[in-house]
Structure 1
Amino acid sequence: MGYRKGYFKKDGTYVQPHFTKTGSKSYSGKNNGCLVLILITMTIGFAISCSDSSDSSNSNCPTKTCGDFKTQGQVQSTFDSNRSCYKNLDNDNDGIACENLPKNNQNQ
């Protein structure tokens, strides 16, 4: 802000001295750092909240491995019941879970 001195107009009237705004009406460079910091903080917070919500959907899934089953048929029926929950049972993503296990109890 600047101080404007009083002056006389051409018609003889006196204008009182007053403070005037001398800066630009746009955002100043001093505040841009705070704005960038706020945007970065919000972006990181949003990313964390999204990753937490996607992990919480699978938190109710029991942890199963191929060693927990005796036959491939048992694993396949469990895998087919909830593919998103038991996605670790199908390592090559071909839709067949634990391919190395025997097909049924007779093969053991």
Structure 2
Amino acid sequence: MGYRKGYFKKDGTYVQGHTTRSRSKSFSNKNNGCMLLLLLAMTFGLAVSCSESSDSSDSGSNTNSNSNCPTKTCGDFTTQAQAQSTYNSNRNCYKNLDSDGDGTACENLSK
């Protein structure tokens, strides 16, 4: 329990000081169980969502190995045959050598 000082209202009347409860009735002991369950559910949900996002980022980096691929362009090759053999060695890595997607790399180079 605490003591509340007196104060003036906006209309000019004075309210006498009095003792009050330190906790409001809306935050009583009977609501603590519900709050605890809600807090646990939110914590569990956050833990699950964080673990799923880290799993998906790990599996995404394993399936997409383009980050480990060397950067090659058609300008790095003198003939189309060199570009084609490089493209055939790893089509996922060197897919930028085949601009139209027909399976032939650097079609503008001489054979």
TM-score bracket for the superposition, by shorter chain length? 0.5 to 0.7
State the match for 1:91 in structure 2: 99
Cα distance between partner residues in 2 of 1:48 and 1:63: 23
Mapping for residues 1-80 of structure 1, pairs under 5 Å: 28-56=37-65, 59=68, 61-80=69-88
My pick for the range that moved more, 85-94 or 65-74, is: 85-94
Q: TM-score, normalised by structure 2?
A: 0.56
Aligned-partner residue type, residue 62 of structure 2: S
Cα distance between partner residues in 1 of 2:67 and 2:40: 42
Q: CA RMSD in A?
A: 2.5
Aligned-partner residue type, residue 88 of structure 2: D
Q: 1:11-51 CA distances to partner (integer Å, 9 max, x unpaired)?
A: xxxxxxxxxxxx79xx9333111111111111111122112
CA contact (8 A) 2:66 2:92 kept: no
The answer for unaligned runs of 5 or more in structure 2 is 1-32
Q: How big is the shift at 1:55?
A: 4.2
Does structure 1 residue 81 correspond to structure 2 residue 89?
yes
Q: Which has the higher helix share?
A: 2
The answer for unaligned runs of 5 or more in structure 1 is 1-22
User: How many residues get paired?
Assistant: 78
